[in-house]
Amino acid sequence: MSNATVRIAHVSDAQAIQAIYAPMVESTAISFELEPPSVEEMAKRIESTLPTYPYLVAERDGQVIGYAYASQHRAREAYRWSVDVTVYISPEAHRRGVGRALYEVLLPTLKRQGFHAAYAGIALPNEGSIGLHEALGFAHIGTYPEVGFKQDAWHDVGYWRIALDATHQPKPPVPFSEINQYI
């Protein structure tokens, strides 16, 4: 199991996060970006996410080995209680509980913020990611066939959902910046 420590990401983690993410962009269809973002761009993404949503890293022996964050599901106001979640783990840390450790902080944090549901989009095939999400209680809700073209092929994206809060009359979600001291 994981002996990783999960904490809130800092802009100074951008280089380590970019090093995990860039190979996924360059060599796989897991990410639909075509060019890896720069370290500076990753720093901007961390900085722009944290006021509203959690952005977390997992460390082992002082090294960032994975990260997870939440983001806006859709722009229209009625979607504001739903979030998309993303997790990336360094290849040498796969199948060691790091993704679970990140989600065990991320998902309760999102619930505390007042979000109703979290959605994960998974480029298919990706048995490892599917296994992680389903083990945590995410349920497959559908697949967009041939929705992205990368590496000279069309790729499907499956969507998984987990309920966070069953409140029927929700209050506006609390910005992450207002609760982050509890992580």
Q: What is the pLDDT of residues 74-94, one digit of tens each?
A: 999 999 999 999 999 998 888
CATH of the domain at 101: 3.40.630.30
Please give the Cα distance from 74 to 143 (Å, whole number): 17
The length of the chain is 183
Written as six digits, the tokens of 18 are: 């970019």
Task: Check pLDDT > 80 for residue 106.
Answer: yes
What's the confidence (pLDDT) of residue 120? 98
Task: Check pLDDT > 70 for residue 1.
Answer: no
- Rounded to two decimals, the pTM is 0.94
Specify if 63 maps to a domain.
yes
Specify if 183 maps to a domain.
no
Average pLDDT score over residue span 147-171: 93
How many independent structural domains does the chain possess? 1
Beta-carbon neighbour count of residue 28 at 10 Å? 12
CA–CA distances in Å: residue 26 to residues 32, 54, 137: 10, 26, 30
What's the confidence (pLDDT) of residue 117? 97
Strand 82-89 relative to strand 139-150: parallel, antiparallel, unpaired? unpaired
Specify if 114 maps to a domain.
yes
Q: What is the mean pLDDT of the chain?
A: 94
Specify if 118 maps to a domain.
yes
Specify if 182 maps to a domain.
no
- What's the domain range around 154? 5-177
Name the band, by pLDDT with cuts 50, 70 and 90, for residue 41. very high
> For the ranges 55-69, 112-126, 150-164, 166-180, which has the lowest average pLDDT?
166-180
Average pLDDT score over residue span 109-125: 96
Specify if 156 maps to a domain.
yes
Average pLDDT score over residue span 102-106: 97
Name the band, by pLDDT with cuts 50, 70 and 90, for residue 2. low
End-to-end CA distance of the chain: 21
